Structure 1
Amino acid sequence: MQHEKINYLEFPASDLAKVKGFFETVFAFEFTDYGPEYTAFNNAGIDGGFYYSKNVMATTKGSALVVFYSENLAETQDKIIAAGGKVVVETFEFPGGKRFHFSDPCGNEFAVWSDK
């Protein structure tokens, strides 16, 4: 661990089983349950967890945006949709690459970008 650096992230989820299945399928997260209202993840680039809540993260509500990297944006988007996610901002270009935003099955907003 590094002193005074981001070490862990936590996200709300109204259905822990659905969110676990989604992130296992799409991004190969690994989970450890800590009771019925919390699950921790690893194998994600940074460790974190999902806690039971009916709240959702969205940039329109002022939430920070967690952005994944992909070597094949279209392939990752297809996996997200097949696993029950939804595209909430279509792919757009920006200097250095392109990205799209998606919501997980619980409604949390994330993004995926690529420089390819």
Structure 2
Amino acid sequence: MGDEPAGIRIDYVELPSLTAHELTRAFYTKAFGWRFADYGPDYSATEGGTVDVGLNGQHDDALSAPLPVVRVEDLDKAFDAVADSGGIIARPIFAFPGGRRFHFIDPSGNELAVWSTR
């Protein structure tokens, strides 16, 4: 620990909210006082925290498990590093509101995403 390059860390966790997006959003607001910004009718996210949370209610996009998201400065370099290290690219680089990202599967079968604002 402490050996990772500066700025490379998990800074976002996306939770699926397919069956009850509004109820899930209301739950976290009431339980923890989290405030969400809406990005369409099926996606909401906290903003400005050390680790923010997204609620993904998009049936064609949400995973069935939480998705940890790693933030990097150079997305293309990270993509190459993940592929060269044996990660399986589950979703190639794509744009979304706020930046670009890709998804990969690690050797234990965990799916993560990597994103950048650039």
Q: Given the two structures, how large is their TM-score scaled by the length of structure 2?
A: 0.48
